[in-house]
Amino acid sequence: MHIRDIRTEEHALLGQMMVEVYSQLDGFPKPFEQPAYYDMLANIGAFTSVPRCRVLVAMTPAEELLGGVVYFGDMRSYGSGGTATQEVNASGIRLLGVHPNARGRGVGRQLSLKCIELAQEQKHQNVVLHTTEPMRAAWALYTHLGFARAPDLDFMQGALPVFGFRLALERTADRQQATARTYLKTS
């Protein structure tokens, strides 16, 4: 698997996959309940024209789509509800989706790690993301990567509670250095 920027000819394919993934989540609003949200998912490639925003895809060696995510290098473009767009010195992750046939293969983890790497390259202090109760499986991934619940970023999307998470990159770097030191001592 490799992670790269989406190509124009892949916009519709990723959009179709995102609509499929999100519409199948138990407890998540369906397309008829939030048509504007699903229109955004279907047209996910439009984020490539947003300044300091990247749409990343996970691909097999044969260039088959496994998943995608939107990375925001400028929180003013993040576009969710709540106060996240006011975050300073932060990057954002939105719309992470993994093809149903690719789940359990580390696709979401690799996409998330690439976004964290991009935030570190920008020397940002935090990475922000949002998730919902129907996406509970993703919570374990985010927690494992070091994200902590950030109730100050929570908001309501209609009747759906949306929960904020924040990763402090300084602590992440310290944890990675400690892990590396431990590995070197035991090798």
pLDDT digit string (tens) for 132-154? Answer: 888 888 888 999 999 999 999 98
The overall average pLDDT reported for the chain is 88
pTM of the entire predicted model = 0.87
- Given a cut of 60, whether residue 182 has pLDDT beyond it is no
Lowest mean pLDDT among 62-66, 84-88, 127-131, 137-141: 84-88
- Phi and psi angles of residue 120, each rounded to the nearest 5 degrees, phi first: -65, -40
Coil, helix or strand at residue 74: coil
- Average confidence (pLDDT) over 57-80: 93
Nearest residue to 134 via CA among 34, 60, 2:
34
Quick check: 67 and 107 in contact, CB under 8 A? yes
pLDDT at 180 over 70: no
* β partners of residue 57: 4, 68
Token look-up 């124009």 returns: 8
Q: Are strands 2-5 and 53-59 parallel, antiparallel or unpaired?
A: antiparallel
pLDDT reading at 186 higher than 70: no
How many Å apart are CA 138 and CA 135, to the nearest integer? 6
CATH of 2-186, one of 1.10.10.10, 3.20.20.70, 3.40.630.30, 2.70.98.90: 3.40.630.30
pLDDT tier for residue 173 given thresholds of 50, 70 and 90? very low
pLDDT band at 171 (very low <50, low <70, confident <90, very high): low
Radius of gyration of the chain (CA): 16
Element of type H or E holding 186: helix 169-186
Q: In this model, does residue 87 exceed pLDDT 90?
A: no
